[in-house]
Structure 1
């Protein structure tokens, strides 16, 4: 049996990636290896409180840094890379969020132009209490504060795109990228189609928590220490990112307008369900229509993200996804605790 390595990667500032594709690998990993990755927040740690307006302390296009890419041995185009999220631990006891003048769901943008005044640029600092497992919101114009559950997630994760493309880490698409879904939490396995030799996995943009849709365009941004384990599934292609938890399977669609992202996700989940269960496509479609969930990832990035999810317990004797890789990686992760 091949020995399993634990690879710890802590990038220095000039090592961060701002694209998927077009980068040399920072390390090589094999199926079964444990990868502990230090990630930075979307502002590169430069926004620390209300006085640090992103437009003044950050420099475009150097937003949304990712750690990586990691070359995965034996991963070839046409394969699928399974990535199990073992844990996501905030690396600081604070996080930040913000509003921007022409960014987010409730303001005019370059694509949705209007005569309304742009939003004020403002920063909120959140306290993170890992012992109490809470994130503390403080209003900026009153004394109101409230504790919200600490629910760490990875906003950006993916592989190199197809066709030798280079894509900004801000963009979500078939290769993954800035998916911004709270479903990317510890205990989830995400499946990516491999587009180039070595897959070139990268991740970053941790959130201490985020509401569905990420309405203002910014979660509670935080640096993390994220632990992963990976496995290459040979000869099986995956067109769009897919997720599996102990309870559900989920397909991800990324597009504009929002309804096209919805359609992509649900078309993929219908096909996946039919493949796993033998259900007729229309029977699977009907079941998704009555029993499915459609959590929204984001409504602010260059592409929007929508998920289609269904409880595995509602499916008729589904085949284990990729011969049970989620359970296998989950068991491996349990041995790390």
Structure 2
């Protein structure tokens, strides 16, 4: 990190965890240009530590997916764009946990897709972290099969307070961000979120040591995380009034995350805002941008299990002319993070 950047450290106590977006008092105020080194607990609050720990006995609903924050960003007003650059994501424990939770996941009966079938049996897997090798180890329930998987830290949840005084659970993804569960939310990514209330009131958490696209069973390799995040702000007139949906920028892609049910509406939300972003980046009219999107976009599922589904529309930079989004904000913050 560039030594000129102020780094503020914050580790919440369990009493300070936020369980919602909106409705929670800020834990501190921060200035744009500040870097935050934050600790966040895993989605299970550290309660699944062995294969004998089952969700129904160990978890206290609805107190799952704890968030670190919210943070009041000085000067942020509705219509501005909050910028969060994920400089570093470091596992804070040497193990992660995943589980099958009754009536939750993509391939079981759920509260919204009701059938006469019983839920899948509860089960917990513990993944040992090998920092030197950069892996987490999958082990079958009978111990007969083990296999290392690459460590790919990400944040499942990044968001701001919703508009109109709404309070949304930390399990929900929507226009304010939230529990999007996209693997694109990794170190080196810059996140652009529309500010809805004074101070933005952003929170983050739900660290994953790795996750497949779609998060099929509903849980990733869940783990506590230490995150180094650069905070910035683009005023409304300079940002066009803030993006309709969360936008992400990496060295390789411009991306938009749409969240809704049914799944095709999540896809449509991201596609429409990606058209708008192509218009801004390359000064195109709407139908030209739509045509170009149709030929270059990559569209992985982020999650197909949450309250809303999330779909990521990715625009590969290698297939498009060079362009600068938000006055080169990603490049500037990336350089600061590299120091």
TM superposition score normalised by structure 1 = 0.96
Equivalent residue number for residue 213 of structure 2: 212
What is the CA-CA distance between 1:180 and the residue it aligns to? 0.4
CA–CA distance in structure 2, aligned partners of residues 317 and 103 of structure 1: 42
What is the CA-CA distance between 1:315 and the residue it aligns to? 2.4
Unaligned runs of 5+ in 2: none
Equivalent residue number for residue 325 of structure 2: 321
1:324 counterpart SS class? helix
Equivalent residue number for residue 104 of structure 1: 105
CA–CA distance in structure 1, aligned partners of residues 273 and 9 of structure 2: 34
What is the CA-CA distance between 1:317 and the residue it aligns to? 4.5
CA–CA distance in structure 2, aligned partners of residues 105 and 263 of structure 1: 21
Equivalent residue number for residue 260 of structure 2: 255
Equivalent residue number for residue 202 of structure 1: 203
CA offset digits 1:66-114 (Å, max 9, x no partner): 0001111111101000100001100111000001220000001111111
CA–CA distance in structure 2, aligned partners of residues 217 and 313 of structure 1: 32
CA–CA distance in structure 1, aligned partners of residues 332 and 285 of structure 2: 29
Aligned equivalent of 1:333, options 319, 332, 337: 337
CA–CA distance in structure 1, aligned partners of residues 232 and 38 of structure 2: 17
1:208 counterpart SS class? strand
Equivalent residue number for residue 160 of structure 1: 161
Equivalent residue number for residue 189 of structure 1: 190
Aligned equivalent of 2:245, options 233, 240, 244: 240
Equivalent residue number for residue 73 of structure 1: 74
What is the CA-CA distance between 1:230 and the residue it aligns to? 1.1
Aligned: 1:169 with 2:170: yes
Alignment map for 1:49-60 (pairs within 5 Å):
49-60=50-61
What is the CA-CA distance between 1:283 and the residue it aligns to? 2.2
CA–CA distance in structure 2, aligned partners of residues 77 and 283 of structure 1: 31
2:210 counterpart SS class? coil
TM superposition score normalised by structure 2 = 0.96
CA offset digits 1:145-169 (Å, max 9, x no partner): 1010000000011010000111100
What is the CA-CA distance between 1:142 and the residue it aligns to? 4.4
1:43 counterpart SS class? coil
CA offset digits 1:205-228 (Å, max 9, x no partner): 000000000000000000011100
CA–CA distance in structure 2, aligned partners of residues 76 and 325 of structure 1: 19
1:228 counterpart SS class? strand
CA–CA distance in structure 2, aligned partners of residues 291 and 276 of structure 1: 15
| Residues 188 and 317 (structure 1), Cα distance of their counterparts in 2 relative to 1, 3 Å cut | closer
What is the CA-CA distance between 1:278 and the residue it aligns to? 1.3
CA–CA distance in structure 1, aligned partners of residues 70 and 246 of structure 2: 17
CA–CA distance in structure 1, aligned partners of residues 134 and 127 of structure 2: 13
CA–CA distance in structure 1, aligned partners of residues 330 and 62 of structure 2: 36
Unaligned runs of 5+ in 1: none
Aligned: 1:64 with 2:69: no
Number of aligned residue pairs: 332
